[in-house]
Chains A and B, each alone.
Chain A
């Protein structure tokens, strides 16, 4: 099943939804249409109860090269004062918020360069599988900007303050190998294996208890903002909900009966 978008592709197969950035001629750079369509796509995937895992990836050589600067060429003339805050609030931030808040696992299959907002997009996913030759670049500093689209939130949480500052301030390319070492990538595979491996991983996630995974995502999101007491209390509330799922019941029964469980994501 596929839905009609212009700048992205949206495919659902076997409980896995694959969203592909589809502007390969500009290395999947962001424009207004693409951020709008991505938000719609994530919302649709969130609503669709048949979808239990997502993959976000890029068509062609790149994952995503960030904001399309060439398209702004005519704006940057003498006297121009950009209004970037509104662009973030209207276009990018809702998309990033949706990715972090939707209670389904998202794998970023980083098939090529992920620069600027493209890097932030990859970091906003729950998991990252990178192609060997792919790179991550917090390139913002090279155009005198801060890393937006959530990078200042997600990056320090993934690699710690020191490394986060270094990557943002220097704007250096991070190789897949280095990304793996730093914990920015969960897995690194051969270039031609990324799509297949991402799909396989997503399928594995899609047959796990989706509610438990989603609730875990919710709790992990809160973890850095809570004291231990608050987090334990949050866990108590959420575990109660998880305990009421059919998948919990099935999981325990399967364990007792020494058989493989069948989880339906409910």
Chain B
């Protein structure tokens, strides 16, 4: 994301382009993992307020801007987020759409929408609560306070924290690692993890099992298990 003069405010236009690009990468057979980042100073400091300030209820409804965000949820390839500096409001919500977050020590997460007279509208109350639990989510959403990278790590919002000079390269390294994994297994595993918050445990377990069985139709499963048995490195073909 590259709108440094407005701290990468997520305007309608930026989101349109971002979602279109994510979908293009998802359709591209040569791409196996996606990396999303901002700059060292800021990931994204929120939605573009100027875009919204004067809108009426039905103008907001008809823009369907958050419906566009739903399409990010449908991206089947793993998305690694490289986050440094501020990930606030929409920026934090965008981060939570990603699969693995690599945060720089300087990263700050928050949902400060309360301070401008609204509340999170793109998943900030839903995803955050599921990620960090009610106590921390309520504190963050109601008080507008920020979580430091270390706090985000302890709370379960991000899974890795690295020095600010290394966050991008580390995220890139992880994305490359993911790109070498069997793509179909990656895709189904991601889908399964995402389902966990949407289903009961017994339904979720059944869903997981079906996806697990599906992978036995792939060559990569045969290769992966055979290589393990033969104590050699597997060579995945992506089918």
Contacts and interface: CB of A to CB of B under 8 A. Distances in A.
B165 interface: yes
A234 B166 CA distance: 11
Contacts of B166: 237, 240-241
Interface of B: 162-163, 165-166, 170
Main secondary structure of the interface of B (DSSP, over half): loop
Contacts of A237: 162-163, 165-166, 170
A174 interface: no
Contacts of B162: 237
A36 interface: no
A240 B164 CA distance: 12
Nearest to B167: A237
Interface string A202-236: 00000000000000001000000000000000100
A102 interface: no
Contacts of A218: 163
Contacts of B165: 237-238, 240-241
> For chain A, which range describes its interface: under 10, 10 to 19, 20 to 34, or 35 or more residues?
under 10
B19 to A, nearest CB: 33
A236 to B, nearest CB: 9
B103 to A, nearest CB: 13
Nearest to B150: A225
Task: Identify the 9 closest CB pairs spanning chains A and B, nearest first.
Answer: A241-B165, A237-B166, A237-B163, A237-B162, A238-B163, A240-B166, A241-B166, A241-B163, A234-B163
14 contacts: A218-B163, A234-B163, A237-B162, A237-B163, A237-B165, A237-B166, A237-B170, A238-B163, A238-B165, A240-B165, A240-B166, A241-B163, A241-B165, A241-B166
Given A218-B163, A237-B163, A240-B165, 11 more contacts: A234-B163, A237-B162, A237-B165, A237-B166, A237-B170, A238-B163, A238-B165, A240-B166, A241-B163, A241-B165, A241-B166
Contacts of A240: 165-166
A238 B164 CA distance: 9
Contacts of A241: 163, 165-166
Nearest to A234: B163
A220 to B, nearest CB: 14
A104 B78 CA distance: 39
A217 to B, nearest CB: 13
Nearest to A240: B166
Nearest to A241: B165
A238 B163 CA distance: 7
Interface in A20-73: none
A30 to B, nearest CB: 28
